[in-house]
Chain A
């Protein structure tokens, strides 16, 4: 019998879930960056995953190009790949770290957390 994956789906056949925001917990210790980052040592970054297929939902805020590419993909999938599920809005986080002179620095890093996903 076909074994079920964690989503209760048939093994090997990935479900065609639509482009959406999914969890992604980042741990700077695992990256080996806890030797220069003081805080935070981990944070929720999220990521975008899923298919951008026809018809595109408006909340995915597709670009005009993505709309055209999606139409062409729906007409001839072998000839044109679908548009990409990617972050459409990102937000910054604050990081306190030690610089190369051993000084303590606060910096606001842009584009560190996915706020929303879209087809691009």
Chain B
């Protein structure tokens, strides 16, 4: 669906927790 791709890729900002983590299956 379109909404998820708008936020892809989860942007990394130094000093801020990266938001992409939960999407990755361990």
- A and B associate in one complex: no
Contact surface of B with A, Cβ cutoff 8 Å: none
